[in-house]
Amino acid sequence: MRLNNMSSLEAEERLRIAGSCGVTMFAGIACTYGVSETCDDSENRFLSYGAGIHYIVRPKERIVLNLEYAEGKTDNYGVYLKMGYG
């Protein structure tokens, strides 16, 4: 059976600890659904959550470096190092 649709909801909170350093916490839920499948089925729901630390590399340009750990459904997890804009 083909699942044609996906919806997700995510939330993230960043807290500054001192100077350019801070912590990040996040959580989310996603659901896949299609012709006869619905979000009521737990097989189609995917929870995720995680936390990390961030460092503001260049405040004027708002460049942020993040190191995060995330965990999801059925023992899926990952460690992410990313650089981007805050």
**CATH label of the domain that carries residue 76:** 3.30.1300
- Looking at residue 52, its pLDDT comes to 97
Give the C-alpha separation, 1 to 45, whole Å.
16
How wide is the angle at C-alpha 49 spanned by C-alphas 73 and 22, nearest 5°? 155
Tokens of 10: 């995510």
Residue 41: which domain range?
5-85
Better-scored residue on pLDDT, 4 or 46? 46
- Is the separation of the CB atoms in 52 and 23 below 8 Å? yes
Q: Helices H, strands E: what count in the chain?
A: 0, 5
Q: Is the pLDDT of residue 5 over 60?
A: yes
- Looking at residue 39, its pLDDT comes to 82
Starting at the edge strand found earlier in the chain, the sheet holding 21-33 runs 5-18, 21-33, 45-58, 63-71, 77-85
Give me the number of domains the chain comprises. Answer: 1
